[in-house]
Structure 1
Amino acid sequence: MPTSSSSPVRPTSTARRGPPPVRRGRFQAFTRTMWVLFGGGLVALVLYLGAVSSNFMNLFGRMPNLHALENPKSELASEIYSADGVLLGKYFRENRTPVDYKDLPQNVIDALIATEDVRFEQHSGIDFKSIMRAVAGLGRSGGGSTLSQQVAKVLFKTRPGEESNLNGGSLNGAGKLGLLITKTKEWLLAIKLERNYTKREIMRMYLNTVDYGSNAFGINTAAKTFFNKKPKLLTTAEAATLVGIVNAPSRFSPVLHPVRSKRRRNWVLQQMVKANYLSASQMQQDTAKSIVLHYSVESSVQGLAPYFRTEVAKYLQAWARETDHDLYADGLKIYTTLDSRMQTYAEKAVAEHLALQQKWFSAHWQGQLPWRDENGKIIPRFLETAMRRTQRYKSLMTRFEGNKDSVNYYLNHKYHMQVFSWQGERDMFLSPMDSLAYYKRYLRAGFMAVNPLNGYVKAWVGGPNYKFFKFDHVRQGKRQPGSTFKPIVYTAAIDQGYSPCYPRPDIATTFPGVAGRPPYTPHNFEGSFSGRSFTLRQALARSMNSITAWLVFKLGPETVVAYAKRLGITSPIDLVPAVGFGASDCSIFELCGAYGTFVNKGVWTGPLLVTRIDDKNGNELRRFVAQTKEALSEETAYVMTNMLQASTTEPGGTSTILHTGFKFNTSIGAKTGTTSNYSDAWFMGITPNLVCGMWIGGEDRSIHFRTGAYGQGARLALPLYGIFMKKVYADKSLDVDTGPFPLPTTPLTIELDCSKYYGGQRDTIPSNQKMAQPNLDDLDDKDI
């Protein structure tokens, strides 16, 4: 039987068992590669985020620490208040005053969310859906940055070019890499902000920090700047206008680009409809409206007491440096001594009086140049000399490297400019030289009122108009005080044993010449001597130079200077025979302190401007009190108030018009002052709780009236006091003491009723008083 050998038969199947070995290996390799890339990318992302967060090797710039995140700081304007609670103004680089969330209007919040971050309530700092939409260009609503990122950008100044330690790092600069690092920081900060703050707090931070242009930062300032409203009072259309600005303050400003701003506002309103914050019908009504602005940019020259506020800023700078505070960014609350009512009356009185005096001054010099020397001749090249002292001249000299032809060209080139006038600002076509000549013809003034009992400054006017005349004539300006210095001489005499009733003939007193200089004989205002006897009380009331000169001769200039220092005069005083006539310059500020000593029973009290400073949260940082020192006895001080009253009541007194003309039925002491050639007109007025000092004159001593009919203190300065006090007395809400001046606590030993004394007393100082003798060596014989 035949046999056969054959291979076993393999079973066949139609089922697919997978790709060939080569294809399967490729797929597995691809998968592994993707996982490696994903894992590597994830690790790289984590490392990158960690490197940015920690500023690895100083490549990316520092991130804020936890304290900075918990206490984000934006610049807040500091506010300055009067004693009666009126906001006088602000100090700021960025004008920002925050508001609480409860004071934020819902229409502003709705408009902002609809426009800038429609998913604000859903995300945790980063909205990836919005980012992808912005990258793909699928929509305009919200963009790629959340409100949290925008807050981070503003608060921590993340963008290159801004002053922040976040902008350091060798890789963090301009270009795409720098932009990536910056956006990464903003993402990280946004997440951290969301972890540390509620949505309401982030919304509040955004609306209190964002820039609206026109130096308006934050919704509070923006609402006031553009619409003169509180945020809560904004209409929906106004809210949409402001929200539309923040994307590009210059481009969408309703002031600069009203048509474009309106289109932007209407787009914001449409976004509100899409987000279901506004009905279509309401949108139609609002889009049809015009943008009606009440535009006013806040500045330091606006509002009450700009000269006072400038002085307060100077006063606080040293304190701010010592305590590591920033007056212009810390949101401080500064409480001052100023009374807004008295300040208003003072500013109105200065404007009213100075406008009239300017009218007379212009008529007095009509068609003539007012800058004259002692002989009445025009001062050659006066304007050229004055121009060389200006900052404009110095800047031009620097710009053109001393080329005087170029400098003179620009000094004489005419421009359109706004200039001051008492009838309102005027548009004129003037060169800088023309402008200088224009302003040199204007009279200047300074006025100060202070409560002598506590040193509180109640009113302060440093000039005609702060916008155009920055120089402050209350403290910065110092001029010869003339006869307003005489009470210091009489104070020394009373303290040294003289009585107000002491008689002295009206005759010449001659100071002998020294060092080859001729003798010096002061003359009375009238230029002659009557030979009659007058009491010291009468002599001061009439401001007689002859008897003041005799007292200076007897007391010695050294004694007069010593008493001036005791009474708070800190300016240098020359030891000259004319010291009693105010030959040395001093300020209104100093004289108010000196006269206040008489009223305050001999206690000199330095004028005080600020009482308290609080931080932005209302915590008290510093409380201020006036400096004081015992300068005189109560009796001497009271005698001087009595002698100063004689100026208003004594026949022949220089200030009797206060009772006869202004009809004041109150206790007032006064002293007028006039300097040589009528360059300076002064007046000092005292009541039981108010001392007022004022000065009027030209910017330069060579610019003045030519006769006493216009230029003396009783004529040029005294009426300003009368105008002010009439307004003050008429306001019954002010606590102004009308008198009499309070008596000393101990009985008087000095006789004040001089009616029975007409002579018979020795023409010498009482022998029991040791008197300083005049030292005439090396004295400068200045004219009064």
Structure 2
Amino acid sequence: MAKSQKKKTKNKFIKTIIIGVSFIVLLFILFFGSIYFGFWGKVQSKKDLANIQQSEASEILDTNGELIDKLYKYNRQSISYSEIPKHLIQALVATEDARFYEHDGVDNYSLLRVFFKTILSGDKSSGGGSTITQQLSKNIFGRKSYGIFSMPVNKLKESIIAKRIEEIYSKKEILELYLNTVPFSGNTYGIESASQLFFSKTTSLLNIEEAATLVGTLKANHSYNPRLFPERSQLRRDVVISQMQKYDYLTSAEANEAMAEPIQLDISDNNTFQRQYFIDLVRSEVEKVLKTIKKPDGTFYSLEEDGLQIHTTLDLKQQELLEKSLRDQVEYLQPLFEAEYSSSPPWKNLELLQKLAEKTEQFQKWKSQKLSSNQIQDSLRKIRPIEIIKNRKTTVLQLSILDSLSHSLKQINAASLSVDPNTGSILAYVGGVDYRHSKFDIIKNAKRQVGSTFKPVVYAAGLKSGLRPCDYISAKEIIYTNAENWNPKNSSSDDDPYLNYSLKYALTNSVNTVSVKVLEEAGILNTIRLGESMGITSELVEQPSLALGVAELNMKELAKVYSSISNRGKVPELYFLSKITSKNGEVLAEIKTESHQKSSLNSEQNRLLLAMLENVVNEGTAKRLRSTYGLNQNIAGKTGTTQSNRDGWFAAVTPKMVNISWVGFNNQNISFKSTRLGQGANTALPIFGQLYKEMADDYEFDPITKAKFPRLTSEQQKALDCEGIKRDGFFKRLFSKDEIEKEFEKKEDEKKKKKSFLNRLFGKKEN
């Protein structure tokens, strides 16, 4: 009886195990089925996977059909299998997937090994069990978050896709796809990009040690980055070489010889990191357009897969000249700027650095990990290898995070935009000094105070109100009691208070006190309305300080204002796309700009304003274009410098090109210490000066550089013909006050007073 009872108990136990295992198997089948049939999101079909190799990069072309760049889905520099050296393939297979040629996309043997070694025996060195084909699936389609189910769902998805890939592609094709899509160190994708970055050579020329170094980084891109951690990277490289020896790809002698060589990097900085701002702009705009265009089969076009041709208005040759001019100017200014601060440089202000540190991802990560304040501060000061950009080259220094932020803070930034004032087409576009340092596009996104580059709008309003270029206005300082006792001053501290300047002279030499009085005469609201008619869309402050350029504008707004002056009052709409065509040449979209609006200046006023801006170049704050750069072409322009020398501007006007250049800092707490160095005439003007000098020396740019402004009529010449300065007579000086206090008169207020008086006089109700 006892024996029978034991047998029953044993059978019941076995039955329970069988039921339990069956239940687990059933759950797994159901779970797998839910993934297979797409309940956890799409699993790419064989048809989808067959299109991987058919993807064609779209080309961005300049106005002459020259290639600016290509937009790829998987890699910026794809290569074929025949260009990949045999020892690179061997290093990859030996390290990442030794049974690659034996499995069908999923290596069940490796999975079992991982299960038993990692899960049961706790051996973390056994690897992840993913084959090269599974990794390819991850590289191309990425992973999604499914909470606690993320790992099993993603792994099973990759297994299903990997098997399908193996049914469609040969092993060679899989290796080619993998090496063209896998991420390497240094934020590079694909073996060719990594080879060019770290060794300045094509993949086909990589030797065994170099190939093993790059393959070694695949285990952990950051940790084995050969620039940041050369010793650790070399140890990992030697593991790869040992694996090659283990699987008989290298003899013992060959392996020892390769491991005896130190890693010798040859870092390349050939990429253009200024043009990327324009490329991002194109990508963003084209993707919007493509959402409105369907293929014959009803699907939408893909910018990265359908081999489109994006025709732009950019002139690649002019773009290259502008990039170089801007780069050279910043490199010239940077050491001078740093040398000005002999003590207490603002980029070492601990309070500021702490605030910036608190905004970093690393700081937030430490905070989420419940690290104490002291622990976080210690981590911020911990020295580690950090890659920075210095003199346009990336270099690795032993720095703390605070040191790295300090280095970033002091970097001068600059941007420059050239447009055709007649059509609004963008000719050259540099949104920042270096895309690696900051991806923030100044032209597209920033609004900064524009300083004296706003003054032409003020003087235009003055002309519109009835003032003439040869009307004289006192330069004496005034305290405006209804504007918080604001006392605008001129840049020259020894100005004679008894001098009177013509409007032409005051604009030529950017005289602040006269500019405020011109604004007072024209009326603030009248000036704002005029500015809006000239292309300004940002809100302008209704304050007397508007005369000195406290307005925060975007560079494109300034480009439109100055284009209207060059284009006889017509304000162009700026654009950079002309058309999009398919790979067969079919026009998919033709970009047409809106009709030009007209500024409220009449042709006479506009031409006089242009002549006054020509005088800024001939005799005023921009005269170094003549003296230093030897430019004798028709050029007008205006310099600008904002408060505390934070921003330096130059707006250049020619008959066929308007250029707006800005120099400053990403962080507004940083500025040039002196106006001598930080003024727009010294920081921003040389960007245009060097650019136009190069253009003037090249006959291909003759249509731009040899163009002429409309001739002045004899009446206009007469209106501009006067001495710039007049001094008060003896008796006027005798009875004149040295210091004047008064209210800033607003024309609009005067109109309201008159209207109110008339309404009261005739018994009308006021609105």
Same fold, TM exceeding 0.5? Answer: yes
- 1:552 CA drift (Å): 0.9
Task: Say whether residues 1:361 and 2:314 are aligned partners.
Answer: no
Q: Secondary structure at the match of 1:420?
A: strand
- Among 486, 492, 495, the alignment partner of 1:526 is 492
Counterpart for residue 535 of structure 2:
568
- 1:598 CA drift (Å): 1.4
8 Å contact kept, 2:58–2:309:
yes
- Among 288, 307, 314, the alignment partner of 2:277 is 307
Counterpart for residue 75 of structure 2:
95
Q: Deviations over 1:437-472 (max 9, x none)?
A: 344334332222222233233333344433224444
Once the two structures are overlaid, the 10-residue window that deviates more, 747-756 or 656-665, is: 747-756
Counterpart for residue 477 of structure 1:
446
Counterpart for residue 655 of structure 1:
622
8 Å contact kept, 2:508–2:612:
yes
Counterpart for residue 567 of structure 2:
600
- Among 410, 415, 434, the alignment partner of 1:465 is 434
8 Å contact kept, 1:697–1:704:
yes
8 Å contact kept, 2:412–2:663:
yes
Q: Deviations over 1:344-393 (max 9, x none)?
A: 3323323332233232222221133347xxxxxxx986425642663247
Task: Say whether residues 1:432 and 2:401 are aligned partners.
Answer: yes
8 Å contact kept, 2:136–2:178:
no
Q: Secondary structure at the match of 1:655?
A: coil
Counterpart for residue 613 of structure 2:
644
Counterpart for residue 9 of structure 1:
none
Q: Secondary structure at the match of 1:689?
A: coil
Q: Deviations over 1:565-623 (max 9, x none)?
A: 22222332211111121112123332122211212232222332333445566655434
How far apart are the structure 1 equivalents of 2:342 and 2:416?
27
**Cα RMSD between the aligned structures?**
5.9
- Among 675, 685, 694, the alignment partner of 2:642 is 675
Q: For 2:695, give the aligned amino acid.
A: V
Q: Secondary structure at the match of 1:671?
A: strand
Higher fraction of helix: 2
- 1:92 CA drift (Å): 5.5
Q: For 1:432, give the aligned amino acid.
A: I
Q: For 1:433, give the aligned amino acid.
A: L
Q: Which has the larger radius of gyration?
A: 1
1:221–1:522 Cα change, 3 Å:
closer
1:512–1:88 Cα change, 3 Å:
same
Q: For 1:522, give the aligned amino acid.
A: P
- 1:485 CA drift (Å): 0.4
How far apart are the structure 2 equivalents of 1:326 and 1:95?
15
- 1:672 CA drift (Å): 1.1
Q: Secondary structure at the match of 2:663?
A: strand
Counterpart for residue 326 of structure 2:
350
- Among 708, 716, 731, the alignment partner of 1:751 is 716
Q: Secondary structure at the match of 1:654?
A: coil
8 Å contact kept, 1:244–1:265:
no
Q: For 1:694, give the aligned amino acid.
A: S
How far apart are the structure 2 equivalents of 1:56 and 1:705?
62
How far apart are the structure 1 equivalents of 2:710 and 2:716?
14
Structure 1 gap segments, 5+ residues each: 1-51, 132-149, 272-286, 372-378, 762-770, 778-784
Counterpart for residue 555 of structure 1:
522
How far apart are the structure 2 equivalents of 1:60 and 1:505?
76
Counterpart for residue 486 of structure 1:
455
Q: Deviations over 1:36-86 (max 9, x none)?
A: xxxxxxxxxxxxxxxx99999879998766864775577766554444555
Counterpart for residue 654 of structure 2:
687
- 1:678 CA drift (Å): 2.8
Q: For 2:481, give the aligned amino acid.
A: G
8 Å contact kept, 1:351–1:464:
yes
8 Å contact kept, 1:654–1:672:
yes
Once the two structures are overlaid, the 10-residue window that deviates more, 588-597 or 403-412, is: 403-412
Q: For 1:306, give the aligned amino acid.
A: Q
Q: For 2:360, give the aligned amino acid.
A: Q
Counterpart for residue 586 of structure 1:
553
Q: For 2:701, give the aligned amino acid.
A: L
Counterpart for residue 474 of structure 2:
506
8 Å contact kept, 1:451–1:458:
yes
8 Å contact kept, 1:510–1:519:
no
- Among 399, 407, 417, the alignment partner of 2:376 is 407
8 Å contact kept, 1:154–1:210:
no
Counterpart for residue 747 of structure 2:
773
Q: For 2:492, give the aligned amino acid.
A: E
How far apart are the structure 1 equivalents of 2:218 and 2:339?
56
Once the two structures are overlaid, the 10-residue window that deviates more, 412-421 or 536-545, is: 412-421
Counterpart for residue 40 of structure 1:
none
8 Å contact kept, 1:111–1:239:
no
How far apart are the structure 1 equivalents of 2:460 and 2:513?
17
Q: Deviations over 1:697-728 (max 9, x none)?
A: 34444533444333322233323332232223
Q: Deviations over 1:77-130 (max 9, x none)?
A: 6554444555544556631566799x989999x999x999xxx9xxxx999xxx
1:216–1:510 Cα change, 3 Å:
closer
Q: Secondary structure at the match of 2:364?
A: helix
Q: For 2:747, give the aligned amino acid.
A: Q
Q: For 2:423, give the aligned amino acid.
A: N
Q: Secondary structure at the match of 1:733?
A: helix
Alignment: residue pair count? 661
TM-score (norm 1): 0.66
TM-score (norm 2): 0.67
1:519–1:260 Cα change, 3 Å:
closer
- 1:234 CA drift (Å): 7.5
What does 1:253-292 align with in structure 2 at a 5 Å threshold? Answer: none
How far apart are the structure 2 equivalents of 1:393 and 1:54?
37
- 1:395 CA drift (Å): 1.5
How far apart are the structure 2 equivalents of 1:291 and 1:416?
19
8 Å contact kept, 1:447–1:695:
yes
How far apart are the structure 2 equivalents of 1:157 and 1:423?
34
Counterpart for residue 418 of structure 1:
387
How far apart are the structure 2 equivalents of 1:381 and 1:218?
40
Q: Deviations over 1:376-418 (max 9, x none)?
A: xxx9864256426632475256425584333322223232323
Q: Secondary structure at the match of 1:416?
A: strand
- Among 568, 573, 577, the alignment partner of 1:610 is 577
- Among 508, 518, 525, the alignment partner of 1:541 is 508
Identical amino acids, percent of aligned pairs: 22
1:85–1:304 Cα change, 3 Å:
farther
